[in-house]
Structure 1
Amino acid sequence: MSAKSSKRQVTTSKQGKSVAESKSVVPRVLLAGAALAGAALWALAPRSRTDRERQNVTNMPDVFYAHRGLHDAGSGLTKQYQGTDGDYIELARRMARKAGYGAGPENDERPIAPENSLAAFAAACEAGYGIELDLQLTADNKVVVVHDPDLLRVAGCPQRIADLTYDELRHIPLFPNPSVYGDAKAEALSQAELEAEKIMPLPQQSQYQHVPLFSDVLKVVAGRVPMIVEYKFEGNEWGARQKLLMESGDALLRAYDGPYVVESFNPLAMRWYRQNHPEVFRGQLAQPSGFTGKSIENGVAWFAGKLGFNWISRPDFMAYDWSGGHSLPLRLVRALGAVPVAWTPRSAEELQRCGRDFDYFIFESFVPQKD
């Protein structure tokens, strides 16, 4: 055999071996890809239909849900939406007065139904809207309804909810000094006011609203409309205080005779319901977040926005930023059986834009209309 012939045989043998190896790699790559896709779907998957049926879980009622109640001061009432919020504010004030709140004259420009107040919840009930609200714990472990960790935005006071007792909270008016109702943010208290007594003189009850006890909210709602109850936490800490909020809030709900569902941004809160009360319809809150890789917190937020923690909570519904309804993770979760809930469209245009992506809507700043 010539040297050239021998060389050709070696080359052909190497080519054949290379082709054979490449053919064997393809199935492994496909298998690995399928495994990764399967793992991703497993992580995203909501609670199974079989488990819902076994636990006799009731779906959430099909109504519009008023964000933090039907309110005339607070969340969403910004200049961006001032062209659409006139009817909304008028409705909030009219319904609050119908429910017995706001004892002053009709032209009184002070807020009578600020966000997350008894008056705002009563107004939502009068208008026939469901309610979305937020739960936190006070310093004396009372369950109260308030969104922010402090009172700066809603009362002009920088004190934190966790540092105040309920008796102290009820002496601090919500939106005490806006020049006109419809403000999204309360005016900051002056230095003299901040240096004054920690507990202010208690005005007549009809003159202002304060952070309410959840138990009082339940008495006002009294089963008239459904509620979406959010368990509110700071950061990702999960310890005795967080568990106490879960236990205390749930105890009040279990004694309540009315329709409700629960939700949280923290998947551990919904895992608590998954383990302790699987019969309750539960939801995972999420929103899209960009990835910078500059911090662990950013990575966690990005992963949560991709619904990567659903394996912890196994939610029945996804409460997602209204602008992200077209995202692939949400579409996949919907296809897998989760109910999509939009928060928070603030105009008829925004509602129309997200209407095809969601089944339920938490709204504010405008009066929604059924198609």
Structure 2
Amino acid sequence: MPSLPAGFLDRAIAHRGLHDRAAGVIENSLPAIRAAAAAGYGCEIDLQISADGEAMCFHDDELDRLTAASGPVRARRAAELGTLALTGAAPEARIPSFAQALEAAGRAPLLVEIKRQHDAVGVGPLEARAAELIEGHLAAGGGPVAVMSFDPRAVAWFHDHASAIPRGLVSMDWDRDPDGEGLAPAARADLSAMASFETSGCSFCSYRWRDLPTGRTRALRAAGLPVLCWTTRSPQEDAAARPHVDNVTFEGYRP
């Protein structure tokens, strides 16, 4: 199991980059990633797959909220996605590829969430492309990269096929979230407890801050395994989370 590099623990992590819509800096954009790196923060981004198998930086399944286009990200080729302007951004800001995001991050720590698109795309293609690009970035002297996902299968893929890349589970109390309503009680319990943590060789987790602490996160920290959290949105939330975590993922303020 690879350890989570120190860079993910010695500075706060900017959620989807250091974005500021009022200033025209949009989440998961190259300007947001560069701003996080320039400010000395780590950076968290989201990855989805294009129709032609490229890893692209975008959070939502659908394009509607952040572009003038509509429909799923996965329905369009990378070249087309790369032409779509991000709503409210400077004219040159488009949906970036993961390769562009890695270049923008440079030496800054980059925390990468693998998005599953509600199972519309099977496990493997996105993970394989991400691993290929991460390995190239590290070989070229780029900063540390770690991957994570809500989906245990995505994390298990890295354990089985790219085991040198640090990986972790993203989770929350699924009994307290509407997204858990369609899941069986046993599935909610397993996801909340991160039941696959050990078998997937995880070196950290990222847990919703308002659900902390849990018995599981206390046990992980006691074993020397880092617990990160998502997403604090004020100094007050930051202060409430800090006693229970090793680092915060933040937005809307500067720690």
Could you tell me which amino acid in structure 2 is paired with residue 366 of structure 1?
Answer: Y
- Determine the C-alpha separation between the residues in 1 that align with 2:37 and 2:181: 45
Matching residue's letter, 1:250: A
> Any residues of structure 2 matched to 1:352-367 within 5 Å, and which?
352-367=239-254
1:330 to 196, 217, 233: 217
1:247: how far off?
0.9
User: What's 2:118 paired with?
Assistant: 235
Alpha-carbon displacement from aligned partner over 1:77-123 (angstroms, at most 9, x marks no partner): xxxxxxxxxxxx6xxx4xxxxxxxxxxxxxxxxx2x10000111111
How do 1:98-177 residues align onto structure 2 when only pairs under 5 Å count? 111=24, 113-176=25-88
CA contact (8 A) 1:170 1:210 kept: yes
Partner of 1:69 in structure 2? 17
User: Secondary structure at 1:310's aligned position in 2?
Assistant: coil
CA shift, 1:127, in A, is 1.0
Give how far 1:365 is off.
0.5
1-structure distance, mates of 2:127, 2:11: 26
Deviation, structure 1 residue 216: 1.1
Superposed counterparts of 1:51-90, under 5 Å: 51-52=1-2, 57=3, 59-61=5-7, 62-73=10-21
SS at match of 2:243: coil
Larger Rg: 1
1:315 — aligned with what?
A: 202
**Contact 2:17–2:32 (8 Å) recurs in 1:** yes
Are the equivalent residues in 1 in contact too, given 2:110–2:145 (CA < 8 A)? yes
- TM-score, with length taken from structure 1: 0.62
Evaluate the alpha carbon distance shift between residue 114 and residue 278 of structure 1 in structure 2; reply closer, same or farther with a 3 A threshold. same
Q: Quote the RMSD (CA, aligned, Å).
A: 2.3
Higher strand residue share = 2
1:32-43 maps to which residues of 2 (within 5 A)? none
Using the TM superposition, give the Cα deviation of residue 334 of structure 1 relative to its aligned residue in structure 2, in angstroms.
2.1
Find the aligned partners of 2:77 and 2:200 in 1 and give their Cα distance. 31
Q: Which residue of the partner structure matches residue 253 of structure 1?
A: 134
Q: Point out the more displaced range, 351-360 or 60-69.
A: 60-69
Q: Give the distance between the partners of 2:87 and 2:130, measured in 1 at CA.
A: 26
For 1:294 and 1:209, the matched residues in 2 are separated by 37
> CA-to-partner distance for each residue in 1:214-264, whole Å, 9 max, x for gaps?
1111222222x111011111235773xx30111111100101022111111
**CA contact under 8 A between 1:268 and 1:312: conserved in structure 2?**
no
CA distance in 2, matches of 1:325, 1:296: 21
Displacement after TM superposition at 1:356 (Å): 0.5
Residue aligned with 2:195, SS? coil
Residues 1:270 and 2:155 aligned together = yes
Distance 2:134 2:224 in 1: 26
Amino acid at match of 1:59: P
Shift of 1:159: 1.4
Please tell me whether residue 207 in structure 1 is matched to residue 87 in structure 2: no
The answer as to whether partners of 1:319 and 1:340 remain within 8 angstroms in 2 is: yes
Residues 86-97 of structure 1: matches in 2 within 5 Å?
93=23
Structure 1 unaligned residues grouped into runs of 5+: 1-50, 74-88, 94-110, 182-205
Cα distance in 2 for residues equivalent to 1:158 and 1:307: 34
- How far apart are the structure 2 equivalents of 1:332 and 1:238? 34
- Is the alpha carbon distance of 1:122 and 1:326 closer, same or farther for their aligned partners in structure 2, counting shifts above 3 Å? same
Are the equivalent residues in 2 in contact too, given 1:60–1:281 (CA < 8 A)?
no
| CA shift in 2, pair 1:156/1:302, >3 Å | farther
> 1:157/1:297 Cα in 2 relative to 1: closer, same or farther (>3 Å)?
farther
Helix, strand or coil for the counterpart of 1:251?
Answer: helix
CA contact (8 A) 1:284 1:313 kept: no
Structure 2: gaps (5+ residues): none
Equivalent residues in 2 for 1:271-350, closer than 5 Å? 271-290=156-175, 295-296=182-183, 299-350=186-237
Task: Indicate conservation of the 8 Å contact 2:131/2:162, yes or no.
Answer: no
Paired AA for residue 150 in structure 1: E
More helix by share: 1
| Deviation of 1:297 (Å) | 5.2
Identical-residue share of aligned pairs (%): 28
CA contact (8 A) 2:82 2:97 kept: no
TM-score of the superposition, structure 2-length normalised? 0.88
